[in-house]
Amino acid sequence: MYVYLAEAAPGSKLRECIRAFDDVVYGFISDFISDGMTSFMKAVTFLGSEWFITFLAVTIPALIFILKKKKYYRHGLLIPANIALGALFNQVLKLVFRRPRPDVLKLVEQSGYSFPSGHAMNSVIFYGLAAYLLVRHGRHPARYLFAGIIAVMVLLIGLSRIYLGVHYASDVLAGFIIGAGWLIIAARISDRLLE
């Protein structure tokens, strides 16, 4: 299913496990390919795109300042700083690993390297911090519901990248794990800054 280039040493157990994992996941997800599902996945993947997350990361603090919500000024500055540094780290990792994109049916065009998935990693970093701040500092009872919806959306963004043929499942899993590690650090920093 996939063509792997310039990866681990030939015959390595790790490489074989990763290949098997990627093949099984893509084989399962590709069974759902249809025009309607493709339209849905394209819409979902847009929510994790660099452009959309950048737009939100700039718009949210701008609204906080326009509405003069002084209580949330530091929140407003933390959000774009977090995603900017996280996205930069993702690009550094891509240059270090230089993993080619999958050689499967591509339902969208995507340039650059594959590992780790920027959509998956940046979605966890951005939406994850938003959900954390909402639960930690929000007062409305529905905040847990919104945080749950955000979690499902992030998972769907990751799945959309595999479905669309632009990432291996292991790219997405790595993006989630690295993004979660980054998020834990960002949450701790936010707790200190927002005390």
pLDDT digits (tens, 9 = 90+) for 86-106: 999 999 999 999 998 998 888
Give tens-digit pLDDT for 129-179: 888 888 887 778 888 899 899 999 999 999 999 999 999 999 999 999 999
Q: Is 140 a catalytic residue?
A: no
Q: Considering the candidates 75, 137, 140, 167, report the single residue annotated as catalytic.
A: 167
Q: Is 75 a catalytic residue?
A: no
Q: What CA–CA distance (Å, rounded) separates 187 from 59?
A: 21
Class of residue 153 by CB neighbours under 10 A (exposed 0-12, middle 13-18, buried 19+): middle
Q: 51-55: list long-range contacts, CB under 8 Å, 24+ apart.
A: 53/83, 53/87, 53/122, 53/123, 53/126, 54/83
